[in-house]
Amino acid sequence: MKSKWSRTALFTGLLGVLAGVVSAVYAAEAKPEQAQASWLTNFEQAQKQAKEQDRPILVNFSGSDWCGWCIRLDKEVLSQTEFKNYAKDNLVLFVADFPQQKKLPEPVAKQNQALLEHYGVQGFPTLLLLNAKGDVIARTGYQTGGAQAYVEHLAGLIAAGKDKPATTTGATKQTPVPYEYDAANDRYWDPGHGHWHQGKPPAGR
């Protein structure tokens, strides 16, 4: 059995290789003035910025063009001025998207899948607060109440995280969430394997 250190080292090495290719695809993200105000798609760049600015990374695992709760989160929170103003001064934003209507560049898709598996993400949207090393500070998802309430929610998670040690993956604290069910086509999305399954999701999911 591989040790926890070996798995972490392997994951870090894989991301390092993918990051070089992703950087070439999205070179413009390296500009601080753009990165600060927008969602990065290069995880290594997000870690670098988090270290330089001493801020946590907010990672949004999303199915941006098909996941109903992801679309609601974006509309009600992430696109709102209250959230943008808070994020600009307090967070590094990173999105790992799993769209169905568009095709991501292969290096980006591979990076996102590696992150999803490493952090044990089981449903969308899942949002993680990470430190610059990639350790999990907190895990959350969609919340009702709008942008200001969500900002307060994130601020509370960050404050609480300062009083407890971060975890490498946070997978042991993951609570399974329902799969996204596409009733029109009688199928459900399995984020752990990155594809659709025909029929309804398993009981309890």
pLDDT digit string, tens, across residues 142-168: 999 999 999 999 999 999 988 766 666
Q: Which domains does the chain have, with CATH numbers?
A: 4-177 (3.40.30.10)
169 vs 122, more confident: 122
Contact 139, 173 (CB under 8 A): yes
Two tokens, residue 20: 């070089």
**Count of residues for the chain?**
205
C-alpha span between 96 and 145 (Å, rounded): 24
State pLDDT tens for residues 102-118: 999 999 999 999 999 99
Residue given tokens 């798609």 in the structure block? 41
β-strands 57-62, 92-97: how paired?
parallel
Please tell me whether the overall predicted TM-score, pTM, comes out greater than 0.85 for this model: no
